[in-house]
Structure 1
Amino acid sequence: MTLVVFAVLLLGAVPIALVLALTAAWYIADSGNTLLFASYPQQLYGAMENYGLLAIPLFMLAGELMNEGGLTRRLIDLARILVGGFRGGLVYINLVANMMMAAIVGSAASQIAIMSRAMVPAMEADGYDKPYAAAITAAGGLLSPIIPPSMLFVLYGVMAQVPIADMFIAGIIPGLLMGGLFFLAIAAVGLVQQYPQGQWPSRAQARRFLLMGLPAMTIPLIIIGGILAGLATPTESAALASLAALLIGRFVYRDLTFAKLPEILRRTAFNAGLVIMLIAAAGVFGWVIVYEQLPQMAAAWIAGLTEDPFAFLMLVVGILLLVGMIVDGIAALILVVPILLPIAQTQFDITAYQFGVVVCLTLVLGLLTPPVGAGLFIGSSMTGVPPLKIFRALWPFLLMSLLALVLLAWQPWLTLALVG
């Protein structure tokens, strides 16, 4: 009956946080063990009592400050120096800029919104098909949960009880792999569609772009460099990045005014509050899952299907692709990790790092796949292109993402090579 209540609430478009909290409350009431209600508030607030979760609002704040402070535009100009002169230069600029932004924003949805506003009008003006311009920009959002920092990695690290810094490091090679595969997809599409000829910036422009872009590049260096060097935790790196984005946007580029700060802080608090509320509700729901011994039952079922780690991960990918099409990535992560991670570690000897990278990338694909496809709707609202047209232009990048998943599941060293 509890499963029926969960399905009805979920399909009834009830906010996912309420779905989780109400389902847990229903289970307690239906079980007759009402003493569990005494532990309900403790489980609710206990899920939020983790220092690592502070990184979430701080990374959100850094992304907001970068966008308002003009740092995003300078990163795009910096990408022009690297790839702007190739045929289809703006497509490559879009991807390189997305990779730079992925090292700062940490949220696929936020990155799609920011880059759609910045890149799609420029690509359309240069003669590119607008749905394709929206699609390549949305595809770049897939890099955000893999290239550190990543909010999904923060949540996963908290739930899996592994160092968040190590999760970030585990995502570096997979992120570069994804970027390389996307470059191949762009080149393949370019053989069919004749991209407009790119134009290298003049020496004076390149010098100006470089000088103006270097301050913006300090943000990913602060985040990733601080973590790799062991000088700062992810939370501390996020705080430093937010401060640097504020100072650069206000005093270097002068695009950011203090009058904009209240609205920036309001947006950050609202978006972070939604995520933290979801984590709290998931804490109660996960408690119910463990109490019902669902991980043990799932382990027995899966063990009867396969004993091969690669086959297990492919099975997980298939299941999560379906889950991610319906449920938000953060909510799905919170739902599946308590069930599947113990099975991966105990039954198949899969490390938490490899499992986390595969799961996070799989779930974020749901952001760009119907029927829900929140990323498609974000891209559509930013560009005016119908969501299905964006999806039809996305298929080369979705195929490359699936190829990346197969490689990451097949070769554990891709996630473990840099982890100490």
Structure 2
Amino acid sequence: MTLVAFLLLLVIGLPIGLILCVAALVFIYDTNNLILLQSYPLKLFTSLDNFSLLAIPLFILVGELMNGAGITQRLVQLAAAFVGALKGGLAYINLLANMMVASILGSATAQIAMMSQVMVPEMQRAGYDRAFAAGLTAYGGLLGPIIPPSIVFVVYAVLAQVAVRDMLVAGILPGLMLTGLFILVVALLGRKHAYPVGTRQTWPARFAALRNALPMLAIPLVIIGTILGGFGSPTEAAAVGAVLAVLIGLFYTRSLRLRDFPLILIRTGINSALVLFLVAAAGVFSWVLIFGQVPQTAAAWIQSVATTPMAFMLLVLVALLVVGTVIDGIPGLIMVVPILLPIATDVYGIHPLHFGVVVSINLILGLLSPPVGIGLYVAAQVSNVSPLRVFWVTAPFFLAACLALLVLALVPWFSLALL
């Protein structure tokens, strides 16, 4: 009954947070455990009673502030100064600028929308195919939820009850690996296609671009340095980053005005509420699943299919790629972690941070996979091209992401080396 209600509401198109809450209520009535209704509101509240969750609105605030402070253009100029003269220089610029923006925004869809408006017209004017430019920007946006600060990793850390700091650190090498593979794909495609070559800049011009962008780069460095150095928690680091973003926007770039703050805070509040409601709904849904012994039942079935940790991880990769094509990253994470994490850690002995990196990237990749692929649709809509054409033109990047995911799943070192 609960599964039928869940799938029906999903097909109707109800927001996933409401689906989780309603499914929990259906389970309570279906099993006649009405006593659970007394704890239902309390469980919604206690799911958010976690200091680490304050990092989410603060990271979102940092992204909003930097977006209003004119970050994108300066980072694009910095990337252009050093790689613009290469064959396919604008493609490299797109990826490197995306990587630098990812370290600040932490949101794939926001990054794809913003960077598509900046990079796609520029690449088209230089002679690149518009669909390729849109797809490349979308895959660059894939780095947003992986490179710290990452809202997806914060949510996973809360769900898995692991240190947010450790989870953010675990994403550094995977994010760099994915960036490196995408750069390699651009280099290989450049040998096949006649990508245009940009203008080589002088070293004084490069140093000028670096000087202009250094304050922007200081924000992620301060955030990550605060966390890695043990000077503060991720929440406190995010607060420091927000203050630094305000100072840079007001006094350095001068693109931020006091009259912009109400709208920035409203957008931050709305986006934070959406994410935090999902977390609260996940708490209730997980509570119901555990009460109904769903993880134990799933563990018994998975053990009959996957006899080794490697087989289990491969099974997870396939299953979550399918889930990720129809459900966004954070909702998908909220749905699968309560079921799969106990199996991964207790049955197969997989490190929770390693499992978190693989699961998060796996679900995020679904943002760029048909039939839903919201990241593809965002890039295609902003760029005014067909989503399906965007996918096929940039299929090599999808294969590279799948390869990176397979390596990360089978080699825990990349997730755990910096801990």
For normalisation by structure 2, the TM-score amounts to 0.98
Q: Could you tell me whether the CA contact under 8 Å between 1:181 and 1:400 is conserved in 2?
A: yes
Output the CA distance in 1 between the equivalents of 2:163 and 2:215: 29
The answer as to 2:181 corresponding to 1:181 is yes
Shift of 1:17: 0.9
Q: Could you tell me whether the CA contact under 8 Å between 2:84 and 2:197 is conserved in 1?
A: no
Output the CA distance in 2 between the equivalents of 1:397 and 1:131: 13
Q: Secondary structure at the match of 2:305?
A: coil
Output the CA distance in 1 between the equivalents of 2:129 and 2:99: 22
Shift of 1:299: 0.8
1:37 aligned partner: 37
1:398 aligned partner: 398
Matches within 5 A, 1:249-264: 249-264=249-264
1:377 aligned partner: 377
Shift of 1:200: 2.3
- How many residue pairs end up in the alignment? 419
1:50 aligned partner: 50
| One-letter amino acid of the counterpart of residue 350, structure 1 | I
1:276 aligned partner: 276
Task: Give structure 1 regions of 4+ aligned residues with deviation exceeding 6 angstroms.
Answer: none
Q: Cα deviation per residue 1:57-94 (whole Å; 9 max; x = unaligned)?
A: 11111111111111221111111222111111111011
Output the CA distance in 1 between the equivalents of 2:346 and 2:37: 32
Q: Secondary structure at the match of 1:249?
A: helix
Output the CA distance in 1 between the equivalents of 2:219 and 2:118: 19
Q: Could you tell me whether the CA contact under 8 Å between 1:89 and 1:199 is conserved in 2?
A: no
Q: Could you tell me whether the CA contact under 8 Å between 2:143 and 2:175 is conserved in 1?
A: yes
Q: Cα deviation per residue 1:139-159 (whole Å; 9 max; x = unaligned)?
A: 011112221111110001011
Q: Secondary structure at the match of 2:105?
A: coil
Q: Could you tell me whether the CA contact under 8 Å between 2:82 and 2:206 is conserved in 1?
A: no
For normalisation by structure 1, the TM-score amounts to 0.97
The answer as to 2:212 corresponding to 1:212 is yes
The answer as to 2:13 corresponding to 1:9 is no
Output the CA distance in 1 between the equivalents of 2:163 and 2:81: 36
1:65 aligned partner: 65
Structure 2: 5+ residue runs without aligned partners? Answer: none
Matches within 5 A, 1:165-314: 165-314=165-314
Q: Cα deviation per residue 1:277-317 (whole Å; 9 max; x = unaligned)?
A: 11111111111111111111111111111222111111001
| One-letter amino acid of the counterpart of residue 269, structure 1 | G
Q: Could you tell me whether the CA contact under 8 Å between 2:120 and 2:383 is conserved in 1?
A: yes
Shift of 1:109: 1.2
Output the CA distance in 2 between the equivalents of 1:42 and 1:359: 29
Q: Secondary structure at the match of 1:103?
A: helix
Output the CA distance in 2 between the equivalents of 1:58 and 1:393: 36
2:407 aligned partner: 407
| One-letter amino acid of the counterpart of residue 104, structure 1 | I
The answer as to 2:147 corresponding to 1:147 is yes
Structure 1: 5+ residue runs without aligned partners? Answer: none
2:24 aligned partner: 24
Shift of 1:187: 1.1
Aligned-residue sequence identity (percent) comes to 51
Q: Secondary structure at the match of 2:43?
A: helix
Shift of 1:173: 1.1
Q: CA RMSD in A?
A: 1.2
Q: Secondary structure at the match of 2:146?
A: coil
Output the CA distance in 2 between the equivalents of 1:61 and 1:240: 11
Greater mean deviation of Cα atoms: 378-387 or 160-169: 378-387
Output the CA distance in 2 between the equivalents of 1:260 and 1:129: 36
Output the CA distance in 2 between the equivalents of 1:101 and 1:192: 29
Q: Secondary structure at the match of 1:382?
A: helix
Q: Could you tell me whether the CA contact under 8 Å between 1:80 and 1:200 is conserved in 2?
A: no
1:339 aligned partner: 339
Q: Secondary structure at the match of 1:143?
A: coil
Output the CA distance in 1 between the equivalents of 2:67 and 2:133: 20
Q: Cα deviation per residue 1:235-289 (whole Å; 9 max; x = unaligned)?
A: 1111111111111111101111111111111111111111111111111111111
Q: Could you tell me whether the CA contact under 8 Å between 1:104 and 1:223 is conserved in 2?
A: no
2:83 aligned partner: 83
Shift of 1:394: 2.4
Output the CA distance in 1 between the equivalents of 2:247 and 2:123: 30
| One-letter amino acid of the counterpart of residue 142, structure 2 | L
The answer as to 2:363 corresponding to 1:368 is no
